[in-house]
Each structure stands twice: as structure tokens, then as C-alpha cells.
Amino acid sequence: MGKWINLKTKFLISTSLIIILVLAVTGYIQKETQKELLVGKVLENGRILVESIAMSCANTLLYQELGLIEEGGLLDNFIDELMEKKELHIQYAIIANENNQVIVSNDFKMHGTMLKDIVSLNSFNSDRTIEQVYYDSITKSEVLDISSPLSIAGKRWGTLKVGFSLDFVRPVLYYYYRRIILIGLAAIVLSVITINYIFSRLTGPLISLSGKIKGISSADDFSRIEVKSRDEVGTLTEEFNSFMERLKEARENVHEAQRRMIAQEKFSSLGRLSAGIAHEINNPLDGIKDCVQMLESGVRDEEKRKKYFRMTRDGLKRIEEIVRGLLDFAREHPFDMREVSISDILFSSTELLKYKLREKKINLSVENILTNPVIRTDTAKLQQVLINLLMNSIESLEHKNSGEITLRVYDCRRNEVNFAAIEVQDNGAGIKDEDKDKIFEPFFTTKGPREGTGLGLSISLGIVEAHGGKMEFESEYGNGTLFRVLLPQ
């Protein structure tokens, strides 16, 4: 997923881009308009000037041809007068004859040269005044070339070419550029201030709503949000408060339903364990009865009396341990995470299943190779998970002659996170492929009526996930099953 950008930032970026785009387009249009006006003014004044000088030059050439005047540098004087008009930014002034050869120029090096560039050729081939704008690669500037034919009554003596530098346009355009940039920056700053103010008014309540939603998921915080405005946001806040109340009620109902389901599954497990537990209690109870009878018969041997008392005490202790373990397993209490020894949980879980394992002739092996023997968990809840998994394994070995169950605890690392892994593996019937996607679904069971609620694995998964852990399984039909519980360390 890409990096998250809040709405205000998106709006600021969008507004700034629109302002920049509008100013860029407006600036370009204004620049071109100003350039056109400035060049147009130069062109208008230059055309009048060039045509008037061209007329004077043509008259001079005509008078010289008629012998009315002698060549006395009049044409040079016209060119010099032109070049003295600094305010016109004249770059060059040239008079060429009818053969395109320079006869007069402000640059003496040009005298006698032939003009063959495209601008000059266009001028010489025109019988009227023409204007051309071109880029001079030598001076690295734009030049407006105005050329007028030196002709009278169809007789042409040559062409007058005057080049006006357009470099003076740049500072004017740069001024407009700077002004547009300053206006743009001011507009962006103003828009940032305005948007910040508007969004602080609009998004403040929305941020409160967002924080409240996060509080629901992380801390079950269902407190109301203060309504500070009578507008759409205020209406949304009111609706959200109503939603929170309904959600709180629904959450309480779900928790109550979960509590009942866990209790129901516990009672189901107790029912499945009851025969074995009764047998485990009857064995020491029968021994106690025998000891009491022997003591009542008046045994006088002090050693035998001590032996009978010791056997009675051991039997009562065994019964006490079984009953305490049973009560601890059956007792309801809120989720209580504590640092506990994994060995104690393994012992208490397997102790309640001893008779079942002996009765079914199943061999249970326990392997605890966990580096840190202490884990943070809810003892009763984890015990419920282990007993459920072990009972499922025992029942899957119902028709197996040599049943094997391995309870294994070890260190595991997944995605840079350390886990305590608890595995329950058997060589029982396994799980069919078509059932693998459904085993964690509530009320799904492959057992017969009254043999299970179908809630065991679903509740176990919920308990493991409440620990922040994961639950996995591997199974091949006919070759056993392995369930793996991963608890974060």
C-alpha cells in the first residue's frame, strides 16, 4: 500500500497545482500579448522611419543618376543618422544595390559583400516594405528586420535594410515574469492559510471521529463525542454517537454469547472427561476405604498404622489435586494474562487426561525444548485449548491399535517475530480434504449426535487470536494430524 496522504494535503497540492497552472497559462498569454504590443510598436515606428529614409535614399540615387547632384556621402549620412537614434535599438543599417551587394553600411567591413542569407533574399525579392523577425546566432538575440525597396516609378536601385534589436523586450518580460511569480506565491500562501482555517473547522470533528474509531478497536472506548456544531458535521457526530451506543450493546451481546459458548464447550469437555475423572477419583477412594477398614479392625502394629495413615493421606491428596484441577478448568473468569510456567500448564492439561490415555492405550510423549520456560498467557484459557486438541487427538485414535500423541513445545520465529510454538501431533484418522476449509467454523463437526458441540476448534482459535497468536494445522487423511499454536513471546 502507498504512503497515506491526508485530505488537507491533497487539497493544498491540488489547489497549488491549479494556481500554478492558471498563472502559467495567464502569464504566457500576458507575456505574448506584451511582447506583441512592444514589437508592434517598434514595427510601426520602424516602418515609418525606414520607408521615409528609403524615400530619401531613392531620391538621392535618382538625382545622382540624372546628374543633378554628385556623390558626396549623402547615403552614408542617412545611415549615420539612423544609427544615432539609440532609443530605437538599431542593430544594423544597410543599403544594397540591385545585385544584392552592400554599398553603404554602419559596419565598414560589410562594404562590397554579397548578401545571400534568407532574410536578405526575401527582402530583395519583394517590391514592397516587409518585416521579418529572426534569431541572430552571432548576437544571440531576436532581430526585427525591416526592408524597403529603393525604387521610384518602377525603377529600382536597391534595398534599405534596417535591423532593430528586440533585446530591450526581455527586461520588460522579466518584470512581468517576476510579478506573476510573486502573485502566484501570494495566492498559494493565501490559499494555504484559507484551506488550513477551513479544514481546521471541518476536519477537527472528523479527526475526533477517527480517533474514537481507533479507540474502539484498541481499547473498547465507547464514550460519546461532544457535538460542537449544528451542521452536517454535527449531524454526523450525533449519528456516530448513536452508532457507538448500538455498537457497545452489540459488543456486550457478542461477549456474552462468546462467554456462553466457551462455558458450553467447557461443559462438553467435562462431559467427555467425566468417566476418566470418576475413575481417577475412585482408585484412591477405594484405597482410602480399605485403609479405614483396616484401622477400624484394631490393628495394633504401629508401623502398619502409620502405613495406613500415610496411604490415606496420599489418597486424599490425589483426590484433592484432581478436584482442584477440575475446578480450575471449569471455573469462569475474565481474560487474565500472566507470566506462567509452560511446564505447569502442560502438566495440568495432561493430568486430567491420564485415564483416557490409559483406557485407549495411547502413548503420550511430551517434549519441552522452549528456551524460556515462562510465557505470558491466560492459564485457564490455554489449558482449555490444549485439552480440546488432546481430546480431539484421543478421539481420532479410537480405532487405532498403537496410538501415538506427541505434545511438543519449542521456539519459533515468523516474520521477524518470536513465538512459543505448541504442537499436538497424532497418528490418527486425519482430516478429509473437503473438511479442511471448515474445521474452524462454529458448529462444524464430523462426530455423531451428542458427541460434540462443533465449537471446540472455533473457540480455541478465538482464544489463541486473543493472545495475539496464530493457529495452524497439517493433516493427511489416514495418516494423522498436527495442530500448531503460536503464542508471541
pLDDT score, position 472: 92
- Cell numbers for 273: 472427561
CATH code at 251-332: 1.10.287.130
Cell readout for 425 is 501431533
Q: Which of 453, 425, 467 is nearest to 270 (CA)?
A: 453
- CB neighbourhood size of 426 (10 A): 26
pLDDT tens-place string over residues 449-470? 555 566 778 888 888 888 889 9
Please indicate whether the domains covering 251-332 and 336-489 agree at the CATH topology level: no
* Domain topology for 336-489: Heat Shock Protein 90 (3.30.565)
Q: Which amino acid is at 480?
A: G
Beta bridge partners of 149: 159
Q: Which residue has the cell 510601426?
A: 44
Query: Residues of the chain whose pLDDT is less than 50?
Result: 1-2
Q: Across the chain, what does the average pLDDT equal?
A: 79
DSSP 425: E
Q: What pLDDT is recorded for position 192?
A: 80
According to the model, what pLDDT value does residue 423 have? 94
To which H or E segment does residue 214 belong?
helix 169-219
The domain limits of the chain are 7-172, 251-332, 336-489
| DSSP helix/strand/coil, 75 | helix
DSSP 232-258: HHHHHHHHHHHHHHHHHHHHHHHHHHH
State pLDDT tens for residues 408-460.
999 988 888 899 999 999 998 888 888 888 888 777 777 655 555 667 788 88
Domain spanning 7-172 has what CATH number? Answer: 3.30.450.20
Backbone dihedral region for residue 298 (phi beyond 0: left; psi -120 to 50: alpha; all else: beta): left
Q: Residue 97 forms beta bridges with which residues?
A: 158
Burial of 8 from C-beta contacts in 10 A (0-12 / 13-18 / 19+): middle
